[in-house]
């Protein structure tokens, strides 16, 4: 089974399936299709499947022209029909793993995918889990279910874990030049999974167990969460001390060793950093261990939207304005610069808090034309003189490169800048985090 599958991978005759056509799955499916494999994307979202079949991309990292070419050449297709699983040589699981309301892991999408795979598992098939999860998921949950089919792992089928390292909008590091961590249940599982990923990734980083690989992913984003929590608290302390936190970080970053700069902001957003540390914390709670750094960082990062609103209130009071009834223009609402992704964006929390304080809110964001959540539905406005000059306060949440910050500084009467987007621009009307 091993040699047959390895040959099919090497000769690019393997039929690969990707379950979940989101920010992780679609770029991965497109990469394998470009490499010459026959690839089938599987998703429960009818709209995504229809768009893929039409060659229309909904992910910035995959162009519609590229997708159209792959679909037209019959290298890539999409379906909601799970029966296709029985035809596949390799399957990558790239489904979402969010948190529930109590911040416990919700891996129901993974378990549903595994159930479907188990119903169609056959000899010589490779299964790789890419979805972020807690250590032990692959060997404690996925493996036993697949073994219930009567097939033997490492001989009849192969099981591996390879955490996604997707950074939407990153023009420097993409799928191909970002090293790929891979682990298998058995040595042969590792070898066959590494062979598959070597076809589209420059560097493979093998680790000894799936638990180690699962922990690698959580360490990467817990590291970022904890350090962002540190500089967010530093921003609060610097404000109390009357010191410019951006100047402090910039000066500290000149040290050529022992320091890595992180920057404060209005809160954490995205599909990884606000979520992944809680997977690790949850797992350790089952072992009666308290993850203190994670909890403190989460507390600090979670309070940043409220701290931003406090800064807005203070800035407006100093300018002789009242937040109640004021006109606030939020600049940038996506969770990070230059992408149209709202997942876990702190802008949503800030807008809701401002709305609770009876402020009238507008927003500008070239990547998010419509913003709808809770009881609110907003449409983006242009950053023209009418909207900028009429606002009582401009709040910069996401520092898109498309914005003209010098123009905002000249035109706005008051600015609260949470990203230091106005760095180098002097003005008493500009308040920074």
Are 151 and 269 contained in the same domain? no
365-22-113 Cα angle (round to 5): 150
- The two structure tokens encoding residue 396: 């910069």
Q: Which of 210, 236, 271 is the last residue of a domain?
A: 210
Residue 262 lies in a domain: yes
Are 245 and 135 contained in the same domain? no
**β 180-184/157-161 pair status:** antiparallel
Write down the pLDDT at residue 122: 97
Are 173 and 240 contained in the same domain? no
Are 31 and 160 contained in the same domain? yes
- The two structure tokens encoding residue 35: 């490499």
Distance CA 251, CA 229 (A): 19
Are 344 and 405 contained in the same domain? yes
Helix residue ranges, H only, 163-244: 187-198, 210-241
Dump pLDDT digits (tens) for 152-195: 999 999 999 999 998 888 889 999 999 999 999 999 999 999 99
Residue 79 lies in a domain: yes
Residue 348 lies in a domain: yes
* Cβ(327)–Cβ(360) below 8 Å: yes
Write down the pLDDT at residue 400: 97
* Cβ(422)–Cβ(410) below 8 Å: no
* Cβ(97)–Cβ(271) below 8 Å: no
Q: What is the CATH number of the domain that holds 37?
A: 3.40.50.720
Write down the pLDDT at residue 34: 97
Residue 221 lies in a domain: no
Distance CA 410, CA 388 (A): 10
From residue 130, give the alpha-carbon distance in Å to each of 35, 93, 133, 403. Answer: 20, 6, 9, 35
Distance CA 342, CA 335 (A): 5
Identify the CA nearest to 15 among candidates 132, 177, 124.
Answer: 124
- The two structure tokens encoding residue 269: 């957003």
Are 323 and 285 contained in the same domain? yes
Residue 219 lies in a domain: no
Q: Which of 189, 272, 322, 393 is catalytic?
A: 272
DSSP at 87 = G
Are 254 and 173 contained in the same domain? no
Task: Give the bridge partners for 10, in sequence order.
Answer: none
Are 204 and 139 contained in the same domain? yes
Respond yes or no: is residue 272 known to be catalytic.
Answer: yes
Are 203 and 244 contained in the same domain? no
Question: What backbone torsions phi and psi does residue 235 show, to the nearest 5 degrees?
Answer: -60, -40
Domain that holds residue 175: 2-210
Residue 151 lies in a domain: yes
Q: Which of 150, 175, 210 is the last residue of a domain?
A: 210
Write down the pLDDT at residue 170: 87
- The two structure tokens encoding residue 190: 């590792």
* Cβ(2)–Cβ(188) below 8 Å: yes
* Cβ(199)–Cβ(35) below 8 Å: yes
* Cβ(423)–Cβ(409) below 8 Å: no
Distance CA 22, CA 400 (A): 23
Q: Which of 210, 244, 263 is the last residue of a domain?
A: 210
- The two structure tokens encoding residue 48: 């995504």
Write down the pLDDT at residue 376: 85
Write down the pLDDT at residue 351: 97
Distance CA 356, CA 175 (A): 42
Are 173 and 140 contained in the same domain? yes
Residue 217 lies in a domain: no
Write down the pLDDT at residue 329: 98
Total count of domains within the chain? 2
The pTM (predicted TM-score) of the whole model is 0.92
In three-state secondary structure terms, 81 is coil
Q: How many C-beta neighbours within 10 Å does residue 149 have?
A: 15
Are 241 and 127 contained in the same domain? no
Low-confidence ranges of the chain (pLDDT < 70): none
Question: What backbone torsions phi and psi does residue 144 show, to the nearest 5 degrees?
Answer: -60, -40
Are 151 and 236 contained in the same domain? no
Buried b (16+ CB within 10 A) or exposed e, 247-260: ebbeeeeeeeeeee
From the centroid of its chain, how far is CA 342?
10
Residue 222 lies in a domain: no
Identify the CA nearest to 96 among candidates 276, 254, 221.
Answer: 276
């Amino acid at each position: 089974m091993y040699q047959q599958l390895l040959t099919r991978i090497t000769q690019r005759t393997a039929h690969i399936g990707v379950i979940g056509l989101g920010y992780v799955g679609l770029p991965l499916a497109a990469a394998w299709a470009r490499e010459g494999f026959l690839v089938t994307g599987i998703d429960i979202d009818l709209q995504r499947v229809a768009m893929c079949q039409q060659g229309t991309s909904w992910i910035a990292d995959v162009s519609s022209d590229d997708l159209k070419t792959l679909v037209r050449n019959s290298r890539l297709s999409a379906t909601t029909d799970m029966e296709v699983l029985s035809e596949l040589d390799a399957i990558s699981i790239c489904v979402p793993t969010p948190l529930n309301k109590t911040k416990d892991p919700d891996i129901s999408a993974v378990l549903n995918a595994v159930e479907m795979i188990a119903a169609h598992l056959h000899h010589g098939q490779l299964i790789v889990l890419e979805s972020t999860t807690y250590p032990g998921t692959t060997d404690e949950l996925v493996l036993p279910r697949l073994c219930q089919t009567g097939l033997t792992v490492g001989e009849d089928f192969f099981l591996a874990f390879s955490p996604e390292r997707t950074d939407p909008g990153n023009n420097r590091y993409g799928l191909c030049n970002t090293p790929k961590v891979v682990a298998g249940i058995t040595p042969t599982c590792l070898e066959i999974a590494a062979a598959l990923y070597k076809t589209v990734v420059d560097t493979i980083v093998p680790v000894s167990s799936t638990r180690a690989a699962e922990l690698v992913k959580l360490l990467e984003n817990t590291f970022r969460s904890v350090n962002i929590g540190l500089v967010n608290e530093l921003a609060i302390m610097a404000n109390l001390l009357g010191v410019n936190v951006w100047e402090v970080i910039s000066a500290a970053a000149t040290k050529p060793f022992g320091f890595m700069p992180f920057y404060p902001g209005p809160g954490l957003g995205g599909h990884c950093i606000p979520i992944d540390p809680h997977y690790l914390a949850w797992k350790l709670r089952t072992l009666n261990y308290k993850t203190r750094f994670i909890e403190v960082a989460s507390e600090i990062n979670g309070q940043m939207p409220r701290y931003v609103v406090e800064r807005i209130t203070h800035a407006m009071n100093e300018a002789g304005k009242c937040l109640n009834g004021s006109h606030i223009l939020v600049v940038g609402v996506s969770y990070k610069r230059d992408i149209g992704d709202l997942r876990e964006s702190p802008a949503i929390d800030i807008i809701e808090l401002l709305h609770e304080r009876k402020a009238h809110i507008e927003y500008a964001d070239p990547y998010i034309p419509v913003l709808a959540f809770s009881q609110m539905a907003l449409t983006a406005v242009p950053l023209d003189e009418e909207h900028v000059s009429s606002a009582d306060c401009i709040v910069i949440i996401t520092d898109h490169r498309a914005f003209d910050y010098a123009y905002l500084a000249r035109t706005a009467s008051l600015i609260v800048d949470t990203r230091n987007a106005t760095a180098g621009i002097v003005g008493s009307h500009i308040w920074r985090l």
